[in-house]
Structure 1
Amino acid sequence: MEFSLKPSTLKMIRTSFCILVVLATSSFSVLESRDSSSNGHANIEYMAINCRKHSAVITEFGAVGDGKTSNTKAFKEAITKLAPKAADGGVQLIVPPGKWLTGSFNLTSHFTLFIQQGATILASQDESEYPVVAPLPSYGQGRDAAGPTFASLISGTNLTDVVITGNNGTINGQGKYWWVKYRSGGFKSITRPYTIEIMFSQNVQISNITIVDSPAWNVHPVYCNNVIVKGVTILAPIDSPNTDGINPDSCTNTLIEDCYVVSGDDCIAVKSGWDQFGIKVGMPTQQLSIRRLTCISPDSAGIALGSEMSGGIKDVRMEDITLLQTQSAIRIKTAVGRGGYVKDIFARRFTMKTMKYVFWMSGAYNQHPASGFDAKAMPEITNINYRDMTADNVTQPARLDGLNNDPFTKICMSNINIALAPKPKELLWNCTNISGVSSKVTPKPCSLLSENGAPVDCAFPVDKIPIESVVLNKCSA
């Protein structure tokens, strides 16, 4: 790892972590139960894209919340039996207080999974409880290894109108088993399960839950339209491998807001497929709004764009972001062979404390899937806009490395104040193969980001993407 942690830094992270948890706990807008009844879920109100006509409790299907009994069969049976009712006004499945051990299960359309406060969906560590599935078509193989993947704990494919929510209920991925095996080389031909993966679906909401210790990525909507991820708290050890927080992947019209992430990898990683596979599928991530994110990730980015970006990434808006003890603020990751593009990126109102870098762009992220990628497939990185930011205790303001014969262009930075760490890098702005402009930026940027003429403000769209105008309904469980 590039970023080593001193004891004083670890102390600061623990303090920031405690502050983060308090903030996350106090932020949920969902009302707790006002009336405790025999079924344990009366009079809970929550906000959702759609309310449901029918309701059931997981105990009705034989589930036992003792943290020891496997409830995989109960979850599968519940969803199978409730699916016909879902077509008649929708259905919700309540997970009441308790510890509900389960392996992988699939959701259905017009369906809400409601995890009550005091309830924990506990991910099984028994690999036999996770079906093995084919890799995503835009990746060509699993992310851990050249082979298939374990199905995610909570999955769904070709769905319409699906909600995973609660009043701060918990999903515990019990990731330690998977991390230890991964580090020892135990996953040579298969990829670890994610916690939530929704594929080829539309009208998706994931909100007001806490996810702890995911085996790998936490929340992965892929090939989806109209996605809301709101009020989600994600917690994992800062040295846990590949525990990305939220990864919108080849998705259109997505809103991520009011989320809190402590992670061993990128808090948010925007993706769209890997090399020749992503180029062939050709599904960009576009119309993405990220706002009011708080992140701690000492070895990774607050928001990463790539490195799997071969289907393209465009029209991304990021605003009101708080980063604490995080390696970099916004990191663009790509390589020769990726193809695709990252363009029309807009970021404003970032507050950062203790960063290795603020801005990081790399054209040398040379991880590739199976052989066969096109070495002539060059990525296009252009129209990247950063404005209205402050950062304290920064080691190096920027590391911006484009590609030979393929520079990153139209980079704009304005109204940015970066206060340096006591021992900063000697070269504050490391810039190669880029071009752009800057205005009112401290410390003074490299010469490739020229400051010419009158002060300018970098662009930020005045319109909204469609998902930002969606009004949620008040529902009850």
Structure 2
Amino acid sequence: MMWRQVRVRVGVALWAGCTWLSAASQDTRQVVEPKIPPACVQLEAKLKTVDDKVAPADESNLDTERIQKALDGCAPGKAVELKTAGGNNAFLTGPLEMRTGVTLLVDKGVTLFGSRDASLYEVTGEGVTPGLCGTIATGAPPPVFPAPQRPAPVRGGCRPLISVINAKDVGIMGDGVIDGRGYAKILGKDYSWWEMARKAEPKNERYFTTRMIVASHADGLVMYRITLHNSTNFHVSVNQTNGFTAWGVHLLTPTTRGVDARNTDGIDPGSSTNVTVAHSWIDNGDDNIAIKTGVSHMSVLDNHFFSGHGMSIGSETFTGQSFLLVDGLTLDHTTSGIRIKSNVTRGGSVHDLVYQNICMRGVKNPIAISPYYTNQTTEPYEDPKYTGDRIPDYKAITIRNLTSTTPGDVLIAGLNDEHQTEIALDNVHIADITKAQVHGHFATVTVGPGATNIDFSGTDIKVVATKGEKSGAAYSCDGRFVPMQ
């Protein structure tokens, strides 16, 4: 597959209300297709998969020590390469820590599996409660929900499978697979990582699980061509980072259709700037991309989303999100399309967002911009009346050239008169949408020359129509819907 170079500094003219804006809403770097570095060492696989899984007899045959030793000894600018050897094609590991300038390179045909031994991931240290990883803290809700109680979080839990902490210019690359084995029974337990997550849901209990890749203070992090399968929880979580690129990433969870994989977000940046996700394929059990609080200057370019909860911002927005460009996105049977979710316990300022050239089909909620988040897959259409002082405020949002080939509900809402949502729609068409499927309060919608077929007359939303000739032609999605790769 040939991918075009992405020059995210190039300005794109974008209509918003009656004003033409340059595309400041994007990664400020010049991002080009990454290159795989030469290897400092090649590690040969010693294990062989059985039905694409770890053989039971190999469950204790860990490769953690030799992989970590190679990462520790590799020179910056080089890669630790995992390769097949004869009929062997698998590695099994506990937590790994990346080093500055070093790439983990997983060759085609190789799978790097995460161990299902929760004790290997256990957080240790002074003041840490032992034995939490792989368990539910019965009766203890997550620290930010429900409102307004925020109990002090328990110290302890699980380390991620791969950590990129205080390490710059790290790479995770290759045409192979990293498999977190969220489906697998935790050693010594009668439940898997995913079953534990679902078991905790009815009472909104906190549970302790490992994540696949967690990065913090990881400037220059690059993920390239890698395939991620079956993460136990979030696949990629990046924080406190200036410069993160995911290019050609293939993310599929669960790999067995019909299996329940709760809380398996795809790519979640937070408290970071200059982020690009390009030419990637994401099919998972929660938000395909969830932009957490404190993210600015992010580009999401030419991606395909399948199962999941859509292109999301939130639910945490209390330190703000700003300057986002989503261009060339296809959403195929996600629950939501463009989704901004928060509430008064975790909200803040969200502004200068541009979504353009977007195709959807089979999407229940093509547009959901809401201050009503209740920790569910989709947002309610009315205010749940939580109390709190972290107020969601959505401004300067532009959606242009969006077509949904199937009908779905639209929600555009602000919190109150003082915090109205302001959005511009231009050439936005949702096939066969009815007036009853349009919901909203405390919002102003400015309709551009490309018009929209969304009828807001059944809501109290203020609609401002621009002057000039209206176009009735919907943005074409011919050839845009393709199978997951």
Fold conserved between structures, TM > 0.5: yes
Structure 2 residue corresponding to 1:285, chosen from 295, 317, 335: 295
Structure 2 residue corresponding to 1:169, chosen from 173, 176, 182: 176
Distance across 1 between alignment mates of 2:375 and 2:443: 22
Q: Counterpart of 2:180 in structure 1: which amino acid?
A: G
**Structure 1 residues 435 and 188, CA gap change in structure 2 (3 angstroms):** closer
CA deviation vs aligned residue, 1:403-432 (integer Å, no higher than 9, x gap): 134433321111112112xxx665132111
**Structure 1 residues 27 and 101, CA gap change in structure 2 (3 angstroms):** farther
**Structure 1 residues 411 and 215, CA gap change in structure 2 (3 angstroms):** same
Structure 2 residue corresponding to 1:441, chosen from 446, 449, 452: 452
What is the aligned partner in structure 1 of residue 77 from structure 2? 90
Contact 2:306–2:332 (CA under 8 A) maintained in structure 1:
yes
Farther off after superposition, 403-412 or 326-335 = 403-412
**Structure 1 residues 189 and 364, CA gap change in structure 2 (3 angstroms):** closer
What is the aligned partner in structure 2 of residue 381 from structure 1? 394
**1:327 Cα deviation after fit:** 1.7
**1:456 Cα deviation after fit:** 9.4
What is the aligned partner in structure 1 of residue 439 from structure 2? 430
What is the aligned partner in structure 2 of residue 39 from structure 1? none
**Structure 1 residues 327 and 374, CA gap change in structure 2 (3 angstroms):** closer
**Structure 1 residues 355 and 85, CA gap change in structure 2 (3 angstroms):** closer
Instruction: State the secondary structure of the residue aligned to 1:184.
Output: helix
Pair 1:267-2:288 in alignment: yes
Pair 1:253-2:253 in alignment: no
Q: Counterpart of 1:181 in structure 2: which amino acid?
A: M
Distance across 2 between alignment mates of 1:379 and 1:250: 17
Distance across 1 between alignment mates of 2:355 and 2:67: 43
What is the aligned partner in structure 2 of residue 242 from structure 1? 263
Instruction: State the secondary structure of the residue aligned to 1:344.
Output: strand
Within a 5 Å distance, the mapping from 1:141-220 to structure 2 comes to: 146-147=153-154, 148-166=156-174, 168-176=175-183, 177-185=192-200, 190-220=207-237
**Structure 1 residues 99 and 27, CA gap change in structure 2 (3 angstroms):** farther
Pair 1:311-2:324 in alignment: no
Distance across 2 between alignment mates of 1:428 and 1:118: 47
**Structure 1 residues 123 and 155, CA gap change in structure 2 (3 angstroms):** same
What is the aligned partner in structure 2 of residue 393 from structure 1? 406
**1:315 Cα deviation after fit:** 0.3
Q: Counterpart of 1:402 in structure 2: which amino acid?
A: G
Pair 1:48-2:37 in alignment: no
Distance across 1 between alignment mates of 2:418 and 2:36: 46
**Structure 1 residues 119 and 352, CA gap change in structure 2 (3 angstroms):** same
Distance across 2 between alignment mates of 1:28 and 1:113: 22
Q: RCO (CA 8 Å, sep 6+): is it higher in 1 or 2?
A: 1
CA deviation vs aligned residue, 1:12-61 (integer Å, no higher than 9, x gap): xxxxxxxxxxxxxx5789xxxxxxxxxxxxxxxx9636735x511234xx
Contact 2:316–2:347 (CA under 8 A) maintained in structure 1:
no
Distance across 1 between alignment mates of 2:72 and 2:145: 32
CA deviation vs aligned residue, 1:214-240 (integer Å, no higher than 9, x gap): 111111111111110010111113742
Q: Counterpart of 1:127 in structure 2: which amino acid?
A: A
What is the aligned partner in structure 1 of residue 68 from structure 2? 79
CA deviation vs aligned residue, 1:326-365 (integer Å, no higher than 9, x gap): 2221111111122422111100000111221211012121
What is the aligned partner in structure 2 of residue 227 from structure 1? 244
What is the aligned partner in structure 2 of residue 280 from structure 1? none
Distance across 2 between alignment mates of 1:287 and 1:164: 22
What is the aligned partner in structure 2 of residue 412 from structure 1? 424
What is the aligned partner in structure 1 of residue 483 from structure 2? none
**1:185 Cα deviation after fit:** 3.3
**1:75 Cα deviation after fit:** 3.5
Contact 2:429–2:454 (CA under 8 A) maintained in structure 1:
yes
Structure 2 residue corresponding to 1:121, chosen from 91, 112, 120: 112
Q: Counterpart of 2:287 in structure 1: which amino acid?
A: D
**1:132 Cα deviation after fit:** 2.0
Structure with the bigger percentage of strand:
1
The answer for unaligned runs of 5 or more in structure 2 is 5-31, 49-53, 130-141, 184-191, 377-385, 471-485
CA deviation vs aligned residue, 1:271-325 (integer Å, no higher than 9, x gap): 02xxxxxxxxxxx20110001111112xx53200100122211001001000111
**1:128 Cα deviation after fit:** 1.2
Contact 2:435–2:455 (CA under 8 A) maintained in structure 1:
no
TM-score (norm 1): 0.73
**1:191 Cα deviation after fit:** 2.5
Instruction: State the secondary structure of the residue aligned to 1:393.
Output: coil
**1:164 Cα deviation after fit:** 0.2
Identity of aligned pairs, percent? 24
Structure 2 residue corresponding to 1:302, chosen from 310, 314, 317: 310
Contact 1:402–1:434 (CA under 8 A) maintained in structure 2:
yes
What is the aligned partner in structure 1 of residue 16 from structure 2? none
Contact 1:58–1:75 (CA under 8 A) maintained in structure 2:
no
Q: Counterpart of 2:68 in structure 1: which amino acid?
A: I
**1:70 Cα deviation after fit:** 5.8
**Structure 1 residues 401 and 316, CA gap change in structure 2 (3 angstroms):** same
What is the aligned partner in structure 1 of residue 379 from structure 2? none
**Structure 1 residues 384 and 129, CA gap change in structure 2 (3 angstroms):** same
Pair 1:332-2:340 in alignment: yes
The answer for unaligned runs of 5 or more in structure 1 is 1-25, 30-45, 273-283, 458-477
CA RMSD of aligned residues (A): 3.2
Distance across 2 between alignment mates of 1:157 and 1:143: 27
**Structure 1 residues 380 and 118, CA gap change in structure 2 (3 angstroms):** same
Distance across 1 between alignment mates of 2:343 and 2:278: 29
**Structure 1 residues 295 and 107, CA gap change in structure 2 (3 angstroms):** same
Q: Counterpart of 1:336 in structure 2: which amino acid?
A: V
